[in-house]
């Protein structure tokens, strides 16, 4: 929680009030590559270049749409710089060094817990592995749609009760960091699609996450909705921005009703709070 005000401050300095950052590539030509988003650990960045250009980040090719739109993101622990290469047909390749703001995360140490609270039971392991395979597959689609470029709105509004990147160390064992943003809200409240999407996963009973939906917004950008009490969509459905996709619950390993909202660029876990506008009050 304590990371949020500091981060807001850094962002305000960097990007001003609009939440957008535009950096032209150093080029003698008039055609810049424009970026919008957060060059920060957990940040999502939408780029626009000329149709027909190719783009790669840290040696990895990125899909560019027919009208020159592309997207990428930075992981929780990404290094301070990355290199982006853009090749416009008929021109020399341009390499740009990207500076990535480094964040600090809340780390909480809890000792003296009973063992069964720290280690999942043996009979759950097969189920957890199956769940993880399904989730990985749902986040692997490289869809040509560019719905992500329209931005993401909050699927529910409410008090933020958990932030991206925070981590617990239980009985000396570091747990997986928390990769979502938790929004506390009553059981049965509707969850709205933050942008148009295709449904890639709709599972009612996953071990950790209970009722879970994954939406694909194109370009490898997916959003996930955890602990739902009800799912209103199925795999393959096309959903529109604002459409109700299900209801808030506390299924899976949740202590109370809330939405755990996650954002991915393929398997890279991003911070939804950076991609959405400030939470409306």
Among 43, 68, 155, 180, binds Zn ion (CB under 5 A): 180
Please, which residues have CB within 8 angstroms of residue 89's CB and are 6 or more apart in sequence? Answer: 52, 53
3-state helix, strand, coil in the chain (%, to 5): 15, 35, 50
Q: Which residue has the tokens 């939406």?
A: 215
**Binding-site string for Zn ion from residue 123 to residue 162, where x marks contact by CB under 5 A and - marks none:** ---------------------------------------x
Query: Which residue is closest to Zn ion by CB?
Result: 260
According to the binding rule CB under 5 A, does residue 260 interact with Zn ion? yes
Span interacting with Zn ion, options 20-28, 41-49, 51-59, 177-185, rule CB under 5 A: 177-185
User: 122: which residues sit within 8 A by CB, 6+ positions away?
Assistant: none
User: Which 3 state secondary structure label does DSSP give 221?
Assistant: strand
Place of tokens 């959003």: 223
Instruction: Compute the chain's Rg from CA coordinates.
Output: 19
Q: Does the protein bind Zn ion through residue 183 (CB under 5 A)?
A: no
Query: Under a CB-based contact definition with an 8 Å cutoff, are residues 202 and 135 in contact?
Result: no
Q: Does 271 bind Zn ion (CB under 5 A)?
A: no
Among 256, 80, 73, which residue's Cα sits nearest to residue 164? 73
Per-residue tokens: 243: 């459409």
The single residue among 36, 40, 78, 182 that binds Zn ion, judged by CB under 5 A, is 182
Nearest CB to Zn ion, comparing residues 14 and 169 = 169
Residue 136 three-state SS: helix
Q: Is the Cβ of residue 70 or residue 164 nearer to Zn ion in the bound state?
A: 164
- Least distance from Zn ion to the Cβ atom of residue 263, Å: 12
Count, residues near Zn ion per rule CB under 5 A: 4
Taking the complex as a whole, the smallest distance from the CB of residue 262 to Zn ion amounts, in Å, to: 8
CB-nearer residue toward Zn ion: 156 or 260:
260
Q: Which chain residues interact with Zn ion by CB under 5 A?
A: 162, 180, 182, 260
């Amino acid at each position: 929680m304590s990371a949020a005000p500091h981060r807001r401050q850094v962002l305000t300095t960097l990007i001003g009030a609009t939440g957008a950052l535009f950096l032209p590539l150093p080029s003698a030509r008039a055609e810049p590559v424009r970026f919008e988003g957060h060059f920060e650990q957990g940040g999502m960045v939408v780029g626009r270049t000329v149709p027909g250009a190719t783009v790669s980040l840290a040696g990895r090719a990125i899909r560019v749409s027919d009208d020159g739109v592309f997207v990428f993101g930075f992981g929780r622990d990404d290094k301070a710089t990355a290199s982006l290469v853009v090749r416009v047909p008929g021109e020399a390749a341009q390499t740009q060094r990207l500076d990535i703001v480094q964040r600090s995360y809340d780390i909480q140490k809890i000792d003296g817990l009973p063992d069964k609270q720290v280690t999942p039971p043996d009979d759950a392991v097969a189920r957890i592995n199956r769940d993880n395979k399904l989730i990985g597959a749902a986040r692997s689609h490289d869809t040509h749609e560019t719905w992500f470029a329209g931005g993401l709105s909050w699927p529910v509004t409410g008090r933020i009760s958990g932030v991206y990147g925070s981590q617990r160390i239980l009985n000396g064992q570091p747990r997986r960091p928390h990769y979502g943003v938790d929004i506390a809200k009553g059981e049965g409240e509707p969850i709205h699609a933050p942008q148009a999407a295709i449904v890639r996963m709709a599972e009612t009973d996953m071990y950790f996450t209970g009722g879970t939906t994954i939406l694909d917004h194109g370009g490898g950008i997916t959003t996930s909705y955890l602990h739902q009490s009800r799912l209103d969509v199925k795999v393959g459905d096309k959903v529109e921005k604002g459409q109700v996709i299900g209801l808030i619950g506390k299924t899976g390993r949740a202590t109370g009703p809330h939405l755990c909202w996650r954002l991915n660029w393929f398997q890279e876990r991003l911070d939804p709070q950076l991609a959405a506008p400030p939470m409306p009050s």
